[in-house]
Chain A
């Protein structure tokens, strides 16, 4: 039209809304990485600075795998979105101290290739990629992945077994206090409940993580754990022990809350968290394995499409 009046105007014409919350995938992913920092620090404090090599290996191989696959499929390489770094850090943090670096690298390749890219990349995967990598390592290196090391500042210099293994195989109950601080035996980032809670609360507070999954998992654990504890407090551990033991806290805040592999709906998130805790309790108390968080989350990941389908919200004002 009359461009003489406004010769410099070049306008965008996309339709409403014209403003955005500024939430971006990249920002959210890097905030998750930031939230893992306390757990990384706890791993260094309790298991030594050398453990960083496991995390480093895991992250590097996740990035390389993603880049290679994107390159082969002629897709845009999006390493800087931070999601492969998350997978790398998460995988590293749920491995035992002094774990073989070669095995770590294999786990990282599997996590990205079979956990994520095979489904078509971020957003399409069904399972949490880091847990897929961990499950693979558990099957491939059953000995290495259950070889534990005593932490620095350990109170009891005898046992290097994890609290759950000690309970299951030796019927020894570990004291709760060190389980909160982290000077117990266990996976790198899982031993310190305190570090996990700091990072987790940060994510909830800034809105990256929806509170419904962690809250329902914790409430679920308190309920199901209490039921057995009340039935027989001699055989079954207290719900608080269950909360702090093994990978429960880490799984609660960092694994089950993964956007892609958890439900979309509010009610779905509550059901999802609740059932994970139920499965964890059953595996821990009655299964052959001392720990069940990983399998519980993977199992529930598979049910997410079903949960979404049956928990779609009632439309505003509709009677149903």
Chain B
């Protein structure tokens, strides 16, 4: 039995909350966990992509030459799943044009030249005690709040579950199971009142009185701090979870906290659960109580390739290179730039791309961290199978994709894969398993759709 399994066994005996499978990457959080959030001053320009969220792009309401105040609305959400965009600075619209986004694709963006100006144009401040659920949801919508870290899903939609689903539990995801990232940790340490205030508002919006904050046990300070602030009430409870990737994946988090398994094709909603991120809860508080729309990204800038790793508060729309320069620049060992965490983030090619509302991290990785990518034959060691938290057989799914046997791959569950990367991380033969699986998913999905429409 390997060391980690001995621990798992002890945990099961001690009833520690966790899920089956998973891996233990080097945490690398020591690089930034002691560093308080620091506000990065505005540069000369911000580039505000109109699509910083999942769903339809926002529609601009400004023109070239429009004078903008900090916090002003510059683009409206379009349709049900969309989010408006606000300006993080005061300035003048210099143009609206195609600009590379974080995915490397050219998309419409409003470019604003910064003008020094203290004036702001925030929303009205609301009273959290007297506000109604509808008002909270409306505010979350108009403030353009989107989920932070993952897919940037518009938050207000998640606060309006279909009427036939009865919600009874809010889970706040404080796992921060991605290595390097420490921004959720800093939120919990620095502004626990704001976080708790935000959680209460979300609970009110959902009309429920029970919330759990799931935190990995490598953050004892955060657990202690929140427990202190929460003492004397029973609605919000902190759950200490085992430190293991991907503890923060929705299905894993739900399993660890409630013991329920969300079936393939089902949603947390089907189990009466809504999940929100730590940062999102803080944004909700700011939007309601201070009237501030989502115009800043709270992010960890880290990795051995950056000279001064930091936790930063950055204006949305700031180009990556300005942020890297602010962090002391990149050293010569850097080989990879990633937006997000090292397990699920996206590698970047363009230093001029702007960060968005949902950017939780920028990592500059060295060869030492990123490693080699040369793959050999599968040795059938079973490590990927043992590690997959969703109990898939990654080696088989990758193999079936290589053989273009997509229908069999679908039967074997390829569409269930959440692309957490655990299997690739663990494979001794260095096979890009999840990369193959991603490829196979697209074809399997197409075939499935064709079948359904036929």
Q: Which among B335, B386, B416 is the interface contact of A266 at CB below 8 angstroms?
A: B386
CA–CA, A13 and B430, complex, Å: 17
Would you call B425 and A19 a contact (CB within 8 A)? yes
Would you call B343 and A122 a contact (CB within 8 A)? no
Chain B, residue nearest A8 (CB): B332
Q: Which among B100, B179, B335 is the interface contact of A12 at CB below 8 angstroms?
A: B335
Given A11-B349, A14-B373, A264-B395: A315 and B413 within 8 A (CB)? yes
Would you call A123 and B262 a contact (CB within 8 A)? no
Q: Which among B23, B179, B337, B434 is the interface contact of A11 at CB below 8 angstroms?
A: B337
Which A residues touch B321, using CB under 8 A?
Answer: 2, 5-6
- Nearest CB of B to A42, in Å: 24
CA–CA, A113 and B348, complex, Å: 46
Question: Which of B69-77, B128-136, B235-243, B377-385 binds A?
Answer: B377-385
Would you call A316 and B179 a contact (CB within 8 A)? no
Would you call B383 and A23 a contact (CB within 8 A)? yes
Proximity string of chain A (302-318) to chain B, C-beta cutoff 8 Å, 1 when within and 0 when not = 00000000001111111
A207 proximal to B (CB < 8 A): yes
Q: Which among B263, B342, B413, B432 is the interface contact of A319 at CB below 8 angstroms?
A: B263
Would you call B1 and A20 a contact (CB within 8 A)? no
Which A residues touch B113, using CB under 8 A?
Answer: none
Count B interface residues, CB 8 Å: 76
Given A9-B334, A315-B392: A20 and B379 within 8 A (CB)? no
CA–CA, A135 and B266, complex, Å: 52
A22 proximal to B (CB < 8 A): yes
- Nearest CB of A to B265, in Å: 9
Would you call A16 and B382 a contact (CB within 8 A)? no
B292 proximal to A (CB < 8 A): no
A159 proximal to B (CB < 8 A): no
A1 proximal to B (CB < 8 A): yes
Would you call A265 and B393 a contact (CB within 8 A)? yes
Would you call B435 and A15 a contact (CB within 8 A)? yes
Would you call A123 and B425 a contact (CB within 8 A)? no
Q: Which among B347, B386, B389 is the interface contact of A13 at CB below 8 angstroms?
A: B347
- Nearest CB of B to A150, in Å: 37
Would you call B332 and A259 a contact (CB within 8 A)? no
Q: Which among A20, A121, A269 is the interface contact of B424 at CB below 8 angstroms?
A: A20
Would you call A264 and B393 a contact (CB within 8 A)? yes
Would you call A266 and B385 a contact (CB within 8 A)? yes
CA–CA, A8 and B324, complex, Å: 14
Which A residues touch B426, using CB under 8 A?
Answer: 21, 23
Which B residues touch A124, using CB under 8 A?
Answer: 377
B3 proximal to A (CB < 8 A): yes
Q: Which among A17, A259, A263, A264 is the interface contact of B425 at CB below 8 angstroms?
A: A17
B215 proximal to A (CB < 8 A): no
B344 proximal to A (CB < 8 A): yes
Chain A, residue nearest B438 (CB): A15
Would you call B25 and A14 a contact (CB within 8 A)? no
A210 proximal to B (CB < 8 A): yes
- Nearest CB of B to A149, in Å: 36
Chain B, residue nearest A15 (CB): B435
CA–CA, A206 and B4, complex, Å: 10
Would you call B251 and A9 a contact (CB within 8 A)? no
Q: 25 A-B Cβ contacts within 8 A?
A: A1-B100, A2-B321, A2-B351, A9-B351, A10-B335, A11-B337, A12-B370, A19-B371, A21-B426, A27-B428, A28-B381, A28-B428, A121-B377, A122-B379, A123-B377, A124-B377, A264-B393, A265-B382, A312-B393, A313-B391, A315-B264, A317-B261, A317-B262, A318-B263, A318-B413
**A interface vs B, CB < 8 Å?**
1-2, 5-6, 8-25, 27-28, 78, 81, 121-124, 204-207, 210-211, 259-266, 269, 312-319
- Shortest Cβ-Cβ A-B pairs, 8 listed: A123-B377, A17-B421, A207-B2, A317-B261, A317-B263, A23-B428, A259-B381, A316-B390
A-B contact sample (9 more), CB < 8 A, given A6-B321, A20-B425: A1-B100, A5-B351, A6-B324, A11-B349, A13-B347, A20-B430, A25-B376, A316-B264, A316-B390
